[in-house]
Amino acid sequence: MHDELKSFVFRELVHVLDETSFSGDDDLLEAGLDSMGIMRLVLFIEERFGVTLPDEEIEPDNIQTLNRISSWIERHR
């Protein structure tokens, strides 16, 4: 799951020069993930992983890093 998330984020939402140097705890918001990207990310997660992520949980604590996103998904599986 983590690799699929990372691939989608860097292919579609955040553009960095060297994604291999980007760790699971690096800040996606600082890297350029914006509100439209967050909505696209939530839709991708819900479709790909078959979970429903509550709108009230779309906040920096859940989407700031790849590791936090993975944990958020796991809580709703």
Instruction: Return the half-sphere exposure (C-beta side, CA atoms, 13 A cut-off) of residue 64.
Output: 8
Name the amino acid, one letter, at 24.
G
Q: What is the CATH number of the domain that holds 44?
A: 1.10.1200.10
Whole-model pTM? 0.90
Owning domain of residue 57? 2-8+24-75
Give dist(CA 22, CA 10) in Å, integer. 10
pLDDT at 19: 79
pLDDT values of the chain reduced to their tens digit, one per residue, 77 residues: 889 999 999 999 998 778 788 899 999 999 999 999 999 999 999 999 999 999 999 999 999 999 999 999 999 99
Confirm whether 13 is domain-assigned: no
Confirm whether 52 is domain-assigned: yes
pLDDT at 41: 97
- The domain tally of the chain equals 1
Give dist(CA 34, CA 40) in Å, integer. 10
